[in-house]
Amino acid sequence: MINSQTTVREVALQMPESTRLFEKLKIDYCCGGNQPLANACASAGIDIDNVMRVLGKMSQSNSTEASALDFQNASLTELIEHILNTHHVFTKSEMERLQSLADKVLNAHGGNHPELVHMDELFTRLCADLKPHMFKEEQVLFPYILAMTQAAELNQAGPFAPFGTVNNPVRMMMKEHDIAGQILRELRALTSDYKVPPDACISYRTLYEALENFEKDLHQHIHLENNVLFPKALELENALLQQS
Ligand SMILES: [Fe+2]
Ligand SMILES: [Fe+2]
């Protein structure tokens, strides 16, 4: 049961559709989601009662709809497949498309809109951070989690961890998520919530709309890793250690 003291993270886990509302209200549910809903609303200057009402309506209308994937009850393998096929694929293709679009918009409008220089720099930095980040997840962390899952299924000892414990790469990934979250906040502030100026061309509008979608997807992606996948992986590693 959700109440004003439930953490934002917990609400996002229990009601995945609430993340759409959090995006709209600019309430952080991925990296900074570990605070009660009441506190998050207070610091965002939003009336908690209104938020509770909207959440209540949402849960009523969704109780009849089957959710696409029940993340909390999904297996680690399903979660990793979902993260890779949905978020990693999207992030990679959008990074490539938006980097050239951002350069194009900067060349065309940088004279009248000098903030575009900083926007381009921030997005380039975000991509430069995300590429090796996803590579580490794909090559090191996720294969280790999948190997743990297999060991558990076969009742075998856990796989060798070259990094000591899974807690180490998890901590590193979470730190990198925080940095990405900070860059997203800077981008949002710089672009005044992705508001296009009246003289913006189609490319400019397309870019800002796509950047906002990119932000939304990355929030969801980080939420699934920080709040669902990583805690489950830590739990599984502990279970395997106790068993051996
Ligand atoms: Fe990821
Ligand atoms: Fe990640």
Listed in sequence order, the residues at least 6 apart from 98 whose beta carbon sits closer than 8 Å to its beta carbon are 123, 207, 210, 211, 214
- The pLDDT assigned to 135 comes to 98
pLDDT digits (tens, 9 = 90+) for 106-130: 999 999 999 999 999 999 999 999 9
Task: Give the best-scoring range by mean pLDDT among 14-23, 51-60, 205-214.
Answer: 205-214
User: How many A from CA of 200 to the centre of ligand 2?
Assistant: 33
Residue 136 has pLDDT above 60, yes or no: yes
User: How many A from CA of 110 to the centre of ligand 2?
Assistant: 32
pLDDT band at 66 (very low <50, low <70, confident <90, very high): very low
Residue 188 has pLDDT above 90, yes or no: yes
pLDDT digits (tens, 9 = 90+) for 16-34: 888 888 888 888 888 888 8
User: How many A from CA of 174 to the centre of ligand 1?
Assistant: 10
Q: Can you tell me whether residue 178 is helix, strand or coil?
A: helix
Which ligand minimizes its atom distance to the CA of 176?
2
Of 243, 219, 13, 81, give the one whose Cα is nearest residue 151: 243
Which ligand minimizes its atom distance to the CA of 84?
1
Which ligand minimizes its atom distance to the CA of 82?
1
The 10 Å CB-count burial string (b at 16+, else e) for 193-231 is: ebebeeebeeebebbbebbbebbeebbbbbbbbbbbbbe
User: How many A from CA of 178 to the centre of ligand 2?
Assistant: 10
User: How many A from CA of 137 to the centre of ligand 1?
Assistant: 6
Between CA 143 and CA 215 the distance in angstroms is: 26
pLDDT digits (tens, 9 = 90+) for 32-47: 888 999 999 998 899 9
Of 57, 233, 53, 47, give the one whose Cα is nearest residue 148: 233
pLDDT digits (tens, 9 = 90+) for 93-105: 999 999 999 999 9
Mean pLDDT for 226-230 is: 97
User: How many A from CA of 107 to the centre of ligand 2?
Assistant: 31
Listed in sequence order, the residues at least 6 apart from 171 whose beta carbon sits closer than 8 Å to its beta carbon are none
User: How many A from CA of 221 to the centre of ligand 2?
Assistant: 7
Q: What is the pTM of this model?
A: 0.85
- The pLDDT assigned to 65 comes to 47
Element (H, E) at 127: helix 115-136
pLDDT band at 157 (very low <50, low <70, confident <90, very high): very high
Which ligand minimizes its atom distance to the CA of 169?
2
- The pLDDT assigned to 63 comes to 55
Residue 84 has pLDDT above 70, yes or no: yes
Between CA 112 and CA 107 the distance in angstroms is: 10
Q: What is the DSSP letter of 2?
A: -
- The pLDDT assigned to 12 comes to 87
